[in-house]
A and B are shown apart, each in its own frame.
Chain A
């Protein structure tokens, strides 16, 4: 373990040196440049300014100024507006599902040439999220959200159920639990978290978007995704899963009070559980997500973001150098974990996570398990109008829950709304 880690650190250092070599070459090409290169960086990760300070101390020729922004959809809108006005920052944090809209607006640069050297640091599933399945590379993965199954060990024993290996077992356990106590649910279906549903669709093998040549293909209602929608639709119809909106005080109370026994969530869930369900400390554990067929081993991604470089940046090479350092250098990864509290996308960063979160003190191998699960996560290509698809998801599934109508139809409505919007925006669609 130790030597392996050392080797990883060494390779990271080498990569850093290589990148430094590249960019100092780039500097020479523009001799009119005087003084240090100034880079601006929009991010919402906490304490990123402290991490940039470490870089700045070691690299007097490239000064990075961090500007902390609000995360979420609005951050993407703000970046696109700034890019349109020619005011974009050099570096920007971009959620994976937002990256395609940046690419479509030609707001971020293809940095394939600059980051080739660090390609090996990332798993194929994650790398696919920044290439969009094309030959280009539009960002460097920073953090990722492989999905796993969080469950209450004590209450699983109490209700006499075991950790479900397949979704069929999950459905059976959900019925068992709810039959024993009408106020208790095994888990919930969320019509408010399209990212959650997208992660489950990824696990099932769904491909919502794909690019062939210049044309987009939309497959939101493809077979695997339909299977996922039908599965939850059946459970919701029978009332054996919780369908209240998550992230509300009521949901927090249910989670905290042991009324919800499990949560198919992502690797960042410990932070949520710590703050929203403090009483469950030491009672939760993780396992891989239930599978669609026994013997399979897949997961999906919920959340995570990359660092992209603006097309308008005057210092793309220097920016790529910083982004490479931030996301692959051992020291930077260590800082990202400790200061920014993220689950790094780089394999070497994941290896640095050794001490289980305090909340999971009962599961000493938390991160080892998480890393194993992360290796099984398959992503998919996001499209250029994920925001439209996501709000269509919320509308359609909210309605389906309210009217107790078919989830298949809701998925169809989501698909149609997404396709209609792409047509309206002038994207070429493959038939």
Chain B
């Protein structure tokens, strides 16, 4: 470190300012949702955008009463899609990533190349073909219609492979094999614990992706009892040309729908920190 304090300060300010701007950019909409969700219908468009209103509890009550509480059914559905979907997806990704990273077998590189190709194809493009396929299989408009396409996620497999390659030393696996451990035991006792931070990352990624997914459930599901929050709230917004949109309920619903995500991130945070620091101490 040869630079002096006096030189570093002006240089150090610019990145901070950029980061602050970025934070502002990300947080302003959240603040707006927070403020807007407290407003009644009349206040929503007439009062200052960031001034709190008086209707938070009446909004929540209205939302809960809307069509006999279907909002909470949507919340439960979303939790099911995101929770089960992310768990299954994490399991598949970890198995696939571990195998691709630590075993040499015929066609391994070909499989990996295809997976990388898969990352380049946006999920949006696949939604309609997936719908037509699942409709043929008689699975459209079932919970499976949303769960099955969420399970295989090329990017997660890619992440798992990278993570497994970095976090599991070959020497450790060799030692285990010499000591007579079978492959299943190696996976259970050596690989999975070492990959845990990576698994949390994949789980969170997939959880958020499924929680926020709109197009897939929108196309797959016909029965509103099976809708997730995104599609359900959309039905409140797009009420046809002749009905005023239920803006205040949608905004309150949006606020309630991000609370579980925030809670999840806060509780999973410590695993993630391990993940980040895990990389830094590797030699």
Mark A residues whose CB is within 8 Å of B.
40, 42, 44-46, 49, 67-72, 74-75, 78, 81-82, 84-87, 89, 93, 95, 143, 145, 195, 249, 252-253, 256, 266, 268, 271-272, 274-276, 278-279, 302-305, 341-343
A72–B222 CB distance below 8 A:
no
Contacts of A256 in B (CB 8 A): 45-46
Other-chain residue from A81, A249, A268 in contact with B242 (beta carbon distance below 8 A): A268
Contact pattern, B 42-58, Cβ under 8 Å of A = 1, otherwise 0: 10011001000000000
- Please list 11 pairs of residues, one from A and one from B, whose beta carbons are closer than 8 Å in the complex, sorted by A's number: A40-B222, A44-B239, A70-B235, A71-B240, A266-B242, A268-B243, A271-B244, A272-B244, A275-B244, A303-B241, A305-B242
Other-chain residue from A78, A305, A341 in contact with B219 (beta carbon distance below 8 A): A78
Contacts of A275 in B (CB 8 A): 41, 244
Q: Determine whether B131 belongs to the interface, using a CB cutoff of 8 Å to chain A.
A: yes
Q: Determine whether B237 belongs to the interface, using a CB cutoff of 8 Å to chain A.
A: yes
Q: A121: shortest Cβ distance to chain B, in Å?
A: 19
Other-chain residue from B42, B67, B238 in contact with A72 (beta carbon distance below 8 A): B238
Mark B residues whose CB is within 8 Å of A.
41-42, 45-46, 49, 67, 128, 131-132, 135-136, 140-141, 218-219, 222-224, 231, 234-235, 237-244
Cα distance A323–B244 in the bound complex, in angstroms: 25
B244–A85 CB distance below 8 A:
no
Cα distance A279–B45 in the bound complex, in angstroms: 12
Cα distance A196–B132 in the bound complex, in angstroms: 35
Cα distance A45–B242 in the bound complex, in angstroms: 9
Assuming the contacts A87-B135, A253-B46, A278-B42, asked whether A69 and B224 have C-beta atoms less than 8 A apart, the reply is yes
Contacts of B239 in A (CB 8 A): 44, 46, 71
A69, A70, A143, most chain B CB atoms within 10 A: A70
Contacts of B231 in A (CB 8 A): 70
A87–B141 CB distance below 8 A:
yes
Assuming the contacts A67-B222, A87-B222, asked whether A343 and B242 have C-beta atoms less than 8 A apart, the reply is yes
B241–A70 CB distance below 8 A:
no
Cα distance A276–B44 in the bound complex, in angstroms: 9
Contacts of B240 in A (CB 8 A): 44-45, 71-72, 93, 95, 303, 305
Which secondary structure dominates chain A's binding surface? mixed
Assuming the contacts A70-B235, A72-B238, A81-B128, asked whether A42 and B45 have C-beta atoms less than 8 A apart, the reply is no
Assuming the contacts A42-B222, A67-B222, asked whether A75 and B45 have C-beta atoms less than 8 A apart, the reply is no
Contacts of B46 in A (CB 8 A): 252-253, 256, 278-279
Which 6 pairs show the lowest CB-CB distances between chains A and B? Answer: A71-B240, A85-B135, A303-B241, A70-B238, A268-B242, A252-B45
Cα distance A44–B232 in the bound complex, in angstroms: 12
B141–A276 CB distance below 8 A:
no
Cα distance A43–B238 in the bound complex, in angstroms: 11
Nearest residue, chain A, Cβ from B215: A74
Nearest residue, chain A, Cβ from B223: A67
Contacts of A266 in B (CB 8 A): 242
A304–B242 CB distance below 8 A:
yes
Contacts of B234 in A (CB 8 A): 70
